[in-house]
Structure 1
Amino acid sequence: MRLKVFEAGTLIAEADVFAVDPPMGVVMAKLFPTDAYHQSRHASVIDAEFVGDRGDILQIETPDGFAIRSERVSILDFPTLDDRETHILGIYEPSLDEIIKDHPNLTDL
């Protein structure tokens, strides 16, 4: 599933879900930034160093436009590896089953 990441209505990235932890309500996804993404504004972790909690300005949506409600969103940016992820923690709406329903590698968890 490809999620959309927004800041104040502006699409800053898309993210492909690659791992879930159902009991914890956690989803991890590979991040693909748009031109509106700014590492210093949006990433909470840069090259494995925590730089501050930036998740309060981020919103995540499913492909059909439903907002994912959770306790926290975090972007981990590793520019030296050219790799970025988002972790969505404590998801309570929609259900995790709904988020991963079309992902063939995650639905049997």
Structure 2
Amino acid sequence: MKRLHVFSLQERPLALLLKERLRYEGIDCLLRNEELFSALGEIPFLECRPELWIIDEEMLPRARKLIEGWLREDEVHEAWTCPACGEKLEGQFDSCWKCGQERG
């Protein structure tokens, strides 16, 4: 078992999302320290950070590549205009909320 990534306390939802995305890709993993945020003050904050671990060490390179791609993908959110109705949308949306047209 190998540690893949350590998240900040604020990134806990992201850690849960990436764990599920890896499982969908067929990579067994677990999230450690998932509930330790409630113990802040009782134990050092660095020990409360969520950690994503890969069960099968042979899957580590593939998991790293996937995680890096997903994190890089999440950083780029360029706004776009719907080609069907002209609605201006934020970059994280893949389809128009107004007419349902998918991003080109």
Q: Which has the larger radius of gyration?
A: 2
- When you count strand as a share of all residues, which structure comes out higher? 1
- When you count helix as a share of all residues, which structure comes out higher? 2
Query: TM-score normalized by structure 2?
Result: 0.32
